[in-house]
Structure 1
């Protein structure tokens, strides 16, 4: 089984003033994420605006991330779409860029049955020898991969993990109890990272780690070393950041937060829009609070 570490970042896609991918800022962002504790970078996941990227843009971005990471962190490519054949084509091409794994989101819009979901993921996994991370996010895909379907999929050899963003802790607990040894459960929500760790989950695929990577890594380390009270305190301190970054559609808030953090990754492509004045003010306020977090964290 592959190990992508405990803290994975679902990276934003930087754009320039013409809304083209800004590779200079992408390199700067990759370096920032590595320095602040990210173990694996997910490129072209939901936070990377994949629905607004062409296949050629995705493939160039995957290759660029691999080249700049230089093996210091692993790179997972978001190759899932709502069309199985397109997902297979993208996954095959992505593998040639040197990525370490793929992230497959539940097919959005067309609302497949549970059997359709199973066959979709099974078919894509059969067309790559890379590790596959499933991504269950019913809030965006309009379909929830059931516990039973996930357990069936977990028995496929190269399906090695899931990013679970349904918010259902009972489901997560049942999965942890019943998946094969080595299959990893990642929280897809920053605010549930510690609760999921506490019931046996492995880590988090994070948005907030763009601006609070060191603090989140400290939280995870504290918990794993038995400093539960410290981890819980950090979790509570970070909650305003976790929640504030979803005051508007992701990734508009985190892109603005990065600019406040000194890394200007541009804004979002339509149909997403920039933050309102009130939303921007709220992000600025929580960024101020971030300075007070983590001072008591032991590394």
Structure 2
């Protein structure tokens, strides 16, 4: 199996916060230790699940520094630096590099909906200016702009564009790009982890990995070994917790609540426009954790 500068079992990490909304630095370190202990070899900082739209640029860079300081060489740290402003993305890529990131996550521009030609030029401009390997993030449900198959094939020629986090939900498009390029493919939607791995994905960038890292590491290992029966069993066992985290409200909200349930962090605080889940959502979460065999703190 080809090695990766990003890792293979990766979680898109939450940004722990204190009740006043400030970043909880002790919580950051605690989450990193939890991820290391549960089968991860990589982490994404300042992604959607990290509430990146509500973090200032300074906070985003401080998160990279804090996670890298806590992880050392135990986790590959990939920093989200995407923006719908190309110049800002280039600036953030440079700052994240200086802060110690091992790789960069670049999402397609959101809201302004560029053409595919504009998306190609935007992404190449960031990659030309960057010094670190880049994972593209394809999530048109949030950005409104997908990476077309042809665009990804063209971007694969760039020496720093090495991987794709795929949350598009189009398995056939994924197959076409994987067949045509050497891009390392990552499932970016937990409900599709098994499907992507079975058709050749290199790894996962997960939200449910906050609570199911060991299980996902076992799934990756099972697919590597050709043991699809075991991988499928894991996939089926995790259905309740995937539904609880990803279908109840928002992944970031529910992942923080789950980490509180597991005793990893003290507070499930999120920033507006997110709000914490109501009691009935916590009931769904607890039921999902229990049904998937994931224990909670006493």
Scaled by the length of structure 2, what TM-score is found? 0.95
Q: Which residue of 1 aligns with 2:285?
A: 283
State the 1:3 CA deviation: 3.2
Residue in structure 2 matching 1:47, options 38, 46, 49? 49
1:28 aligns with 2:30: yes
- 1:72-83 residue pairs with structure 2 within 5 A? 72-83=74-85
Of 252-261 and 130-139, more deviation after overlay is shown by 252-261
CA distance in 2, matches of 1:62, 1:54: 13
Residue in structure 1 matching 2:101, options 76, 99, 102? 99
Q: Which residue of 1 aligns with 2:141?
A: 139
CA distance in 2, matches of 1:218, 1:36: 11
CA distance in 1, matches of 2:227, 2:271: 42
Q: Deviation string for 1:232-271 (max 9, x for gaps)?
A: 1110111221222121023111111111111224321001
Of 279-288 and 264-273, more deviation after overlay is shown by 264-273
**RMSD of Structure 2 on Structure 1 (CA):** 1.3
Q: Which residue of 2 aligns with 1:118?
A: 120
What number of residue pairs does the alignment pair up? 291
Q: Which residue of 2 aligns with 1:227?
A: 227
CA distance in 1, matches of 2:155, 2:222: 32
Do the aligned partners of 1:2 and 1:131 also contact (CA within 8 Å) in 2?
no
- 1:287-298 residue pairs with structure 2 within 5 A? 287-291=289-293
Of 26-35 and 265-274, more deviation after overlay is shown by 265-274
CA distance in 2, matches of 1:102, 1:27: 21
- 1:161-240 residue pairs with structure 2 within 5 A? 161-180=163-182, 183-240=183-240
Do the aligned partners of 2:10 and 2:42 also contact (CA within 8 Å) in 1?
yes
State the 1:292 CA deviation: 6.6
CA distance in 1, matches of 2:186, 2:293: 27
Scaled by the length of structure 1, what TM-score is found? 0.94
Q: Which residue of 1 aligns with 2:65?
A: 63
Q: Which residue of 2 aligns with 1:296?
A: none
CA distance in 2, matches of 1:249, 1:142: 18
Do the aligned partners of 1:212 and 1:290 also contact (CA within 8 Å) in 2?
no
Do the aligned partners of 2:186 and 2:204 also contact (CA within 8 Å) in 1?
yes
CA distance in 1, matches of 2:253, 2:118: 32
Q: Deviation string for 1:203-238 (max 9, x for gaps)?
A: 110011100111111111112112211111110111
Do the aligned partners of 2:5 and 2:102 also contact (CA within 8 Å) in 1?
no
In structure 1, runs of 5+ residues without a counterpart are 294-299
Secondary structure in structure 1 of the residue aligned to 2:10: strand
Secondary structure in structure 1 of the residue aligned to 2:58: helix
In structure 2, runs of 5+ residues without a counterpart are none
Secondary structure in structure 2 of the residue aligned to 1:34: helix
CA distance in 2, matches of 1:109, 1:100: 28
Secondary structure in structure 2 of the residue aligned to 1:204: strand
Secondary structure in structure 2 of the residue aligned to 1:126: helix
State the 1:278 CA deviation: 1.8
Do the aligned partners of 2:243 and 2:288 also contact (CA within 8 Å) in 1?
no
